[in-house]
Amino acid sequence: MAEEMVPVYIMGKLYEVPAGLTIMKAMEYAGYRLIRGVGCRGGFCGACATVYRIANDPKLYVGLACQTIVQPGMYLAQIPFFPAEKALYDINQLKPEPETIFKLYPQVLRCLGCGTCTKSCPQELDVRAYMAAAMRGDIARVADLSFDCIMCGLCSARCPAEEPQYNIAILCRRLYGKYLAPRSKHLEERLREIQEGKFDEEMKKIKSLSVDELKKLYSARDIEPE
């Protein structure tokens, strides 16, 4: 049975590629060698932001090339990285308060609430909601809602107010992680034990094992129940 092929335009040139391929695999099938704009290939790193149109459809679509399946009549081009505004700061010198967000990213107050950022997010995050939280200075809420952001930049690319949503989000996650998140007591205890040398002998023993012995030890380890 012949393999189904679909026509796609890559960088303006027509190619026939097998149906079911992702944009990334289709580009490689067409002979493109991907050096930039490719990373984890699993939808986690955000490096392969892509814009595309479909024939006879006026809408501009966005997605990750490693996750989006090609469609007949797709016109596509990868977005080279472009710099959204990124504030420079020393996290140790900041305070976890609304004024920190407004001082470093005053454009946060330009948000129109249009939802274009949410529509463009390949992770299906409610970007508009965490930007609204940022406008209220709710650092913990921004950190929670943006937790799965992969920093692909598609929200910023489509934003009519030209806001760097993903940079604002990571600022809030850093502030939350350093100043607001509950401290892990057992982690502090374990770090103290490491500093006191409690595990030095055990580490020496492990480092002396061969690769096969390490594999056997790893396979026999106690695994926490799911």
pLDDT per position as a tens digit, 63-80: 899 999 999 999 987 776
Say how far apart CA 41 and CA 46 lie, in whole Å.
9
* Lowest pLDDT segment from 5-9, 40-44, 190-194, 217-221: 40-44
* Lowest pLDDT segment from 42-46, 111-115, 221-225: 221-225
**Looking at residues 89-111, what average pLDDT do you find?**
96
Angle (CA) 28 57 80, round 5°: 40
Read off the pLDDT of residues 109-130 as tens digits, 9 standing for 90 and up.
Answer: 999 999 999 998 988 999 999 9
Pairing of strands 13-18, 49-54: unpaired
CA dihedral over 193, 198, 204, 210, signed as positive or negative: negative
Say how far apart CA 137 and CA 125 lie, in whole Å.
19
DSSP 90-134: -GGG--SSHHHHHHH-GGGGG-----HHHHH-TT---HHHHHHHH
3-state secondary structure of 80: coil
